[in-house]
Homo-oligomer: A and B are copies of this chain.
Amino acid sequence: MATLNVAEVVHELGRLGATDRAVAFRLLAKDRAVEVFEDLDPALQAELVASLHGHAAAIFAALDPDDRAALLDEVPAGVARRLLAALPPDEHAATTALLGYPEDSAGRRMSPEVVAVPVGTTVGDTIAQVRAAGDDAETVYVVPVVADGRRVRGVVSLRRLVLTDPATPVDAVMSPATTVRATDDAEHAANVVRDGGFVGVPVVDGEDRLVGVLTVDDAMRVLEAEDDEDSARTGGAEPLRRPYLSVSVLGLVRSRVVWLLMLIVAASLTVGVQSYFEDELAQVVALALFVPLLIGTGGNAGSQAATTVVRASAVGDVRTGDVARVVGREMLTGLLLGLTLATVGVGPAMLVAGPAIGLVLALTVVAVCTLATTVGSSVPLLAKRVGIDPAIVSAPFISTFVDTTGLIVYFSIAKAVLGI
């Protein structure tokens, strides 16, 4: 292929600096520019809009209402007002309706321009309505069937419509609808779309009335953004919210420095603990040799448990009601892991450090692994229960916490066994 397709152009733009990107974007033909713009990250869209002046309003008007709402979240308030004001009245109404839903809700991400038909409509008439909507409706692959004030009674796919005799009433061929609430968390709604393998899912208000459809491509974007966020926080940083190479070095520093500072403050507890046991350390310097190994192992066991539980909770395999069951399983897992490591490692440890310190190490490994998996699994789930993103209190915080408590366990066992 001689020319790049839209996805490739989007990718290449994401790798350029802001100025080069603006120049490259202006070189695109108008129709292509709109397609490319639609697929860019909202953060990059916002930058482009700021640099496009006159062209911005035309491109903005060509977007779907949900893409418009996402962009408005990114640009400064003054720019947002100007862009909204330039919209034709009906587009304006569709966009402000979306902005009425809370951020990160399904309502913000849905397509409000939906073809829906009342119960009793024939398949032929339904197809005619799809035709009449033309390119205005963002999705026509899922047609909700409604009754009684837009309450959803079922859905019929465009595929089913094409396969069915036109005189059949839609109710005869519709399937029961899986719906989500407009106020539902967007991630939950996107999981519903993915788990069911749907092309789209009707979105309803508090009284079960149809307000839009969450389409599969919007769901995929929601999940990608959530995965970005979980992945960044698991690594102890804030999500970048835009392609890596388009972020400046200062931007990278900004996404990480607060986490590092918080973690270093938490880690300074380890200094306190070791100062408290300084006499024992001075008496048996050999104890110091194994500190990095022990706290490293505790950190690893804790981060395994935390990562597993955070992920299981993100995909919906584990719910907040499962805390006791999950923590019980993880505690037992940690105990078995600790016993395995102690059994395998006790020989070499005794050879290196003598039988007494070898025993201390073996006992500490068992205790620290059990502690780490217990903390690593319970803290994220408890955080979720009180409304904190479980990914925030994941691996790095667990490691730091386990470092401190692990040291207390280590020196306490050493004091008891060695009699110091």
Interface status of A141 (Cβ within 8 A of chain B) = yes
Q: Which listed segment binds B: A50-58, A83-91, A93-101, A274-282?
A: A274-282
Closest B residue to A196 by beta carbon equals: B7
Among A257-297, those with CB < 8 Å from B are: 257, 259-261, 263-264, 267-268, 270-271, 274-275, 278, 281-282, 285, 288-293, 295-297
| Residues in B whose Cβ lies below 8 Å from that of A178 | 5-7
- CA A237 – CA B301 in complex, angstroms? 9
Interface status of A169 (Cβ within 8 A of chain B) = no
Decide: A275 near B289, CB < 8 A? Known: A311-B232, A345-B264.
yes
Interface status of A104 (Cβ within 8 A of chain B) = no
- CA A235 – CA B317 in complex, angstroms? 18
From B285, B293, B318, give the contact of A271 (CB < 8 A): B293
In the bound complex, do residue A308 and residue B235 qualify as a contact, i.e. CB atoms below 8 Å apart? yes
From B141, B243, B253, B345, give the contact of A159 (CB < 8 A): B141
In the bound complex, do residue A192 and residue B275 qualify as a contact, i.e. CB atoms below 8 Å apart? no
Interface status of A389 (Cβ within 8 A of chain B) = no
| Residues in B whose Cβ lies below 8 Å from that of A134 | 163
**Interface of A: prevailing SS:** helix
Write out, one digit per residue, whether chain A residues 233-265 have a CB within 8 A of any chain B CB (1) or not (0): 011110010011100011011001101110110
Measured as residues with beta carbon below 8 angstroms from the partner, the interface class of chain A is 35 or more
In the bound complex, do residue A224 and residue B315 qualify as a contact, i.e. CB atoms below 8 Å apart? yes
- CA A253 – CA B236 in complex, angstroms? 25
- CA A198 – CA B10 in complex, angstroms? 14
From B162, B264, B303, B336, give the contact of A395 (CB < 8 A): B303
Q: Which listed segment binds B: A69-77, A105-113, A325-333?
A: A325-333
From B196, B260, B310, B336, give the contact of A337 (CB < 8 A): B260
From B10, B292, B395, give the contact of A292 (CB < 8 A): B292
Closest B residue to A161 by beta carbon equals: B162
In the bound complex, do residue B140 and residue A159 qualify as a contact, i.e. CB atoms below 8 Å apart? yes
| Residues in B whose Cβ lies below 8 Å from that of A308 | 232, 235, 237, 240, 244, 252
Among A94-130, those with CB < 8 Å from B are: 127, 130
| Residues in B whose Cβ lies below 8 Å from that of A220 | 194, 197, 216, 219-220, 223
- CA A251 – CA B260 in complex, angstroms? 34
Closest B residue to A14 by beta carbon equals: B317
- CA A73 – CA B322 in complex, angstroms? 31
Interface status of A228 (Cβ within 8 A of chain B) = yes
From B194, B288, B352, give the contact of A291 (CB < 8 A): B288
In the bound complex, do residue B11 and residue A341 qualify as a contact, i.e. CB atoms below 8 Å apart? no
- CA A252 – CA B318 in complex, angstroms? 15
Decide: A127 near B162, CB < 8 A? Known: A267-B292, A308-B232, A337-B260.
yes
Interface status of A42 (Cβ within 8 A of chain B) = no
Among A12-37, those with CB < 8 Å from B are: 14-15
In the assembled complex, 12 residue pairs joining A and B whose CB atoms fall closer than 8 Å, in A order, are A7-B195, A140-B159, A141-B158, A236-B303, A243-B312, A244-B318, A264-B293, A270-B293, A270-B296, A271-B292, A281-B288, A296-B299
Interface residues of chain A, those whose CB is within 8 Å of chain B, are: 5-7, 10-11, 14-15, 38-39, 127, 130-131, 134-135, 140-141, 158-159, 161-163, 176, 178, 192, 194-199, 216-217, 219-221, 223-224, 227-228, 230-232, 234-237, 240, 243-245, 249-250, 252-253, 256-257, 259-261, 263-264, 267-268, 270-271, 274-275, 278, 281-282, 285, 288-293, 295-297, 299-301, 303-304, 306-312, 315-318, 322, 325-326, 329-330, 332-333, 336-337, 340-341, 344-345, 348, 352, 395-396, 399-400, 403, 407
